[in-house]
Structure 1
Amino acid sequence: MPYVFYKRCLDLLIAVVGITLLLPGMVILSILLVWIYKENPFFTQIRPGKHGRSFTIYKFKTLSAPTHPAQTDAERITYIGYLLRKYSVDELPQLLNVIKGDMSIIGPRPLLLEYLPLYGPHHFNRHQVKPGMTGWAQVHGRNDLPWEEKFTLDIWYVNNISFLIDLKIICLTLIKICTGEGVYPKENLFVQKYNK
């Protein structure tokens, strides 16, 4: 039986156990974010998934509402939002995306829907698998990488997907989160938009 079948089973196991263990903390964090932002504590956005099919991604909100049109994301990020991004806590609601089948624990990160028309056939290969909460590109540089290198790493993962590679990515992700490796000042938290 191919690994992609077992991968879905592992995704469900990790996501269900993760939400069960983290739910009390996520509820407390949600209440705190409602108090800080005075609105919905979750950020939702349409992203392209497997085969380019769109889905709604869930994250904890990290930006305050804009006060003027020219305000940048770096200016809008709150202190708690910075901490959530620093330790990737803002991504935890995506465990629901994994349970729903929109995402996997490991895979190329889901990018913006507006990028799809800019992809060539080679770039679109990253959509042969479900997008992930973390991935091969994320453990090899994340925001530091140029776009083409990210795409190359994503496509390498698609072509070489295996249990051992997924296990390695999970271990490297946990190490980076626990050690704070790859933590940036708030001005460098936001990736420059992709332009073909």
Structure 2
Amino acid sequence: MFNNLNSTTVRLYLLIRTIFDCIVALIGIILTLPVLIIFSLLIKLESRGPIFYTQERVGLEGKRFYIIKLRSMYINAELNGAQWASENDPRITKIGLFIRKTRIDELPQLINILKGDMSLIGPRPERPIFTKKFNNEIPGFVNRLAVKPGVTGWAQVNGGYNITPKEKLELDINYINNLSWRLDIYILFKTVKVVLTGDGAR
């Protein structure tokens, strides 16, 4: 389906981008450490439970890994089973609402990049249960797994949480078919806008 992924140019681009991702992630961790410390303390002061939250996700070619985030919900938020966050979700703490809106809760995923599980830009990784569900409902949903998942991506900056799985698939496939530094830079600029405005957050 993705003939472009086999081209020498795209393979070289993905190799260089992996190196670029690691450099940016390392610098990002150093620069955002004060922010992480401050919000870690606020999370701990507001509600009981761990500061960080890990959750199994599906990555490149179906490989499973644990994504790392700052905890934005009360503990035992999924006693009734896995579910997507909704607008005005009562499970989200006050601090959690802010860090989700500003995407600060995503900062620990820089560690996922250093571990090789994620890239700075790519399709948003879904949980195994939702990946299977969406692929049954929308054949081809797993084609998003042709590249590493990203902290941000084309689908995230064009709707975020507010788009349907089908729309997400279409946007992610469009991104994979048009991989380029130019598109990545454009996504990064749009990401900054999303962070500043809080668009698409839940």
With the shorter chain as reference, the TM-score category is 0.7 to 0.9
Offset from partner CA, 1:100-123 (integer Å, 9 cap, x none): 110000000001111333326622
* DSSP-derived class of the 1:38 partner: coil
Change in CA separation of 1:65 and 1:39 when aligned onto 2, cut-off 3 Å: closer
Match of 1:140 among 141, 158, 168: 158
- Alignment-derived partner of residue 110 in structure 1: 125
Offset from partner CA, 1:123-181 (integer Å, 9 cap, x none): 21110111000110011111221221110111111121111111110000001212333
Deviation at residue 66 of structure 1 after TM alignment: 4.3
Identity %: 40
CA RMSD across the alignment? 2.1
Structure 2 residue identity aligned to 1:30 = S
1:95 aligned to 2:110?
Answer: yes
Question: After superposition, where does 1:176-195 map in structure 2 within 5 Å?
Answer: 176-183=194-201, 189=202
Question: After superposition, where does 1:1-196 map in structure 2 within 5 Å?
Answer: 2-66=12-76, 74-118=89-133, 119=135, 122-183=140-201, 189=202
Unaligned 5+ segments in structure 1 are 184-188, 190-196
Q: Distance in 2 between matches of 1:101 and 1:5?
A: 12
- Please, what TM-score do these two structures have when normalized by structure 1? 0.86
Q: Distance in 2 between matches of 1:12 and 1:92?
A: 14
Structure 2 residue identity aligned to 1:108 = P
Offset from partner CA, 1:35-70 (integer Å, 9 cap, x none): 222321111011111001000100000111248956
* DSSP-derived class of the 1:21 partner: helix
* DSSP-derived class of the 1:95 partner: helix
Moved over 4 A (4+): 66-73
